Amino acid sequence: MASVVLSEAEKLYIVHGVQEDLRVDGRGCEDYRCAEVETDVVSNTSGSARVKLGETDILVGIKAEMGTPKLEKPEEGYLEFFVDCCENSVDLKSLCINPKEHCWVLYVDILLLECGGNIFDAISIAVKAALFNTRIPRVRVLEDEEGTKEIELSDDPYDCIRLNVDEVPCIVTLSKIGYRHVVDATLQEEACSLASLLISVTSKGAITSMKKVGKGSLDPESIFEMMETGQRVGKSLHIALQKILDEEENLGTSRPKVGFLG
C-alpha cells in the first residue's frame, strides 16, 4: 500500500481544514474526486473495466470458464478473486449450468496500476463495472436416450447472458481525521488518519459488511455517524456509477475505444 510522509505542519493544515469541511483540493468531507469509468477495455476477456479515481488507477478483467460446482453448493457457480472481495452479492445460481456437474466460474483479476489513495473504493467500483460488462455464452444441456449429457455453446457471439449487478455493493471508506471523517481520502489525508471504517453498501443503502482499519480507535458515536454517511454517500455513488454504465451501454459498438489493451 502506498503511503506518504508529511511534516507536522502539513498534517496540522490538513486536519484543521477538514474540521471546517474544506479539504486541500477544495472538496467537502463527503465529496468524491472525479471518477473515470470505462468498460470493455481488455481484449480476450468476458468483461473488463478500468477506473481512475484521482491518482488511483484500477484495472479489472473477468474470464468465464466452465467448471464443476463446489460440493457444498451444487446448484451454484462461483467467483474466484485475485484480490479478496465479497462474492455473495452476485446471484450465483444464475452461473449454474447443470447442478453438481457444470457451472460457470468467474475469475476476477484486479490490477493496481497506480495508487493515489482510497484503493478499496476504487476496486469495488471497478469490479461492479466489470461484472456489468461481463457476457457469458448461452449454454444448452443436451441429453441422449442413455442419459449422457452434452454441453452445447451458442455460436452466436451476441447470444449470451448478463449478470444482475443490482445487489453488488460498493465500498465506501470513511477516514477519521480530527473530530470529523472524510470519504475518498487522498494519500496525504490517509497519512493524517489513524482509523478508517470500510463500509460495503448496496444501491438501496443496505450495509452488508464493515471493517475497521488503522491502529487508532473509533468511539461508538463516531461509528454510527460514519455508518450514516456511508449509507448516504454509497447510494449516491451507485446512482452515479449506474448512469455512466448505462450511457456506455447505449453507445453500443459506436463508442470510441480508448481503453487499456483494448
Count of the separate structural domains present in the chain: 1
DSSP letter (8 states) at residue 208:
E
With respect to residue 180, please indicate whether it lies within any of the assigned structural domains: yes
Q: Where are the alpha helices (DSSP H) in the chain?
A: 8-19, 119-133, 187-191, 220-251
Minimum mean pLDDT among 43-57, 140-154, 160-174, 210-224: which range?
Answer: 140-154
**What mean pLDDT value characterizes the chain?**
89
Q: Is the pLDDT of residue 227 over 80?
A: yes
Mean pLDDT score, 52-63: 94
The confidence score (pLDDT) of residue 1 equals: 57
Q: Is the pLDDT of residue 80 over 60?
A: yes
Query: Position 103: which residue type?
Result: C
The confidence score (pLDDT) of residue 90 equals: 82
**8 Å CB contact between 49 and 110:** no
CATH (domain of 156) = 3.30.230.70
Which backbone phi and psi does 116 adopt, to 5 degrees? -125, 30
DSSP letter (8 states) at residue 223:
H
With respect to residue 36, please indicate whether it lies within any of the assigned structural domains: yes
Q: Is the pLDDT of residue 206 over 80?
A: yes
Query: SS3 helix, strand, coil % of the chain, rounded to 5?
Result: 25, 35, 40
The confidence score (pLDDT) of residue 101 equals: 86
Which backbone phi and psi does 246 adopt, to 5 degrees? -65, -40
With respect to residue 2, please indicate whether it lies within any of the assigned structural domains: no
Predicted confidence band at 87 (pLDDT cuts at 50, 70, 90)?
low
With respect to residue 1, please indicate whether it lies within any of the assigned structural domains: no
**Got the DSSP string for 154-185?**
-S-TT-EEE---TT--EEEEEEEETTEEEES-
Q: Is the pLDDT of residue 31 over 90?
A: yes
CA distance 88 to 215: 29
Collect all residues with Cβ–Cβ distance below 8 Å to 40 and sequence separation of at least 6.
47, 48, 49, 133, 248, 257, 259, 262
Domain hosting residue 125, numbered range: 8-251
Per-residue pLDDT of 95-106, as tens digits, reads 988 888 888 899
Q: How many residues does the chain have?
A: 262
With respect to residue 201, please indicate whether it lies within any of the assigned structural domains: yes
> Smallest Cα–Cα separation from 60: which of 85, 39, 84?
39
Query: Position 79: which residue type?
Result: L
Q: Is the pLDDT of residue 190 over 90?
A: yes
CA distance 257 to 242: 20
The confidence score (pLDDT) of residue 96 equals: 87
Query: Over pLDDT 90: what percentage of the chain?
Result: 69
With respect to residue 3, please indicate whether it lies within any of the assigned structural domains: no
Per-residue pLDDT of 12-23, as tens digits, reads 999 999 999 999
**8 Å CB contact between 107 and 131:** no
Query: Position 30: which residue type?
Result: E
Residue 218, helix vs strand vs coil:
coil
The confidence score (pLDDT) of residue 156 equals: 78
- Helices and strands counted in the chain (H then E): 4, 14
With respect to residue 71, please indicate whether it lies within any of the assigned structural domains: yes
Mean pLDDT score, 185-212: 95
Predicted confidence band at 34 (pLDDT cuts at 50, 70, 90)?
very high
Cβ burial of 127 (10 Å; 0-12, 13-18, 19+) is: buried
Predicted confidence band at 262 (pLDDT cuts at 50, 70, 90)?
very low
The confidence score (pLDDT) of residue 58 equals: 94
Predicted confidence band at 84 (pLDDT cuts at 50, 70, 90)?
very low
Identify which of 5-9, 140-144, 153-157 has the greatest average pLDDT: 5-9
With respect to residue 261, please indicate whether it lies within any of the assigned structural domains: no
